[in-house]
Amino acid sequence: MRIISGTHKGRRLIAPKHLPVRPTTDFAKEGLFNILRNRLDFSTIDVLELFAGTGNISFEFASRGVPHITAVDSYRGCVQFIHKIAQEFDFPIETVTADVDQFLARNNKRFDLIFADPPYQFDAQSCADFSRKIWENNLLNDSGFLIIEHSKHTDLSQLLHFQEQRKYGGSVFSFFTNNTHDSKTPQNNQS
């Protein structure tokens, strides 16, 4: 795993082998951040990473100057690794060990960007279930984005607030927006 840009560009991070993760590839991550740098001012946003795993995405945001990031994962070993790297690099990452559904139910803070990388076995309905909690609990700022990374075999285009998707190899990033004028109306009631 490598940080591809920012103050720690090129730094390689080696996560413990026993972690149950599938880090976003450098190719997919570079594509994602090329899109985001044209849409967001990293120096002013608040980011939430759900299903954070190794913290790969959180580290990239931190290296690019995001002032506050919250990384949530249910696996204690993942959270410990993210916390260790955040301290070592002086990254502004708050780590939380929690089940994503429980975190979303009790959190009352709003974010400019929520990035979720659930296990690839999550189907469209599983993604709809946790994303619904984001909308119901009003966790995204008005001009914010929800981005879900998922398998190319999963189609999330029918979910509420869907805007677009970008494919990078076997990974797909589906973008959702809180701005209902920019989002598509769902054709069926999966959300």
Average pLDDT of span 96-106: 95
Q: Which residue has the higher pLDDT, 23 or 155?
A: 155
Q: Is the pLDDT of residue 69 over 50?
A: yes
Q: Output the average pLDDT for the chain.
A: 89
**pLDDT tens track for 12-36:** 988 878 777 777 888 999 999 999 9
The helix (run of H) or strand (run of E) holding residue 27 is: helix 26-36
Q: Specify the pairing of strand 162-168 against strand 140-151.
A: unpaired
CATH number assigned to the domain with residue range 26-177, chosen from the 4 options 3.40.50.150, 2.40.160.10, 3.40.640.10, 3.20.20.70: 3.40.50.150
Q: What is the pLDDT of residue 84?
A: 96
The helix (run of H) or strand (run of E) holding residue 129 is: helix 124-136
Q: Is the pLDDT of residue 157 over 70?
A: yes
Spatial strand order of the sheet with 162-168 comes to 93-97, 68-73, 46-50, 111-116, 140-151, 171-177, 162-168
> In which band, very low, low, confident or very high, does the pLDDT at 179 lie, cut at 50, 70 and 90?
low
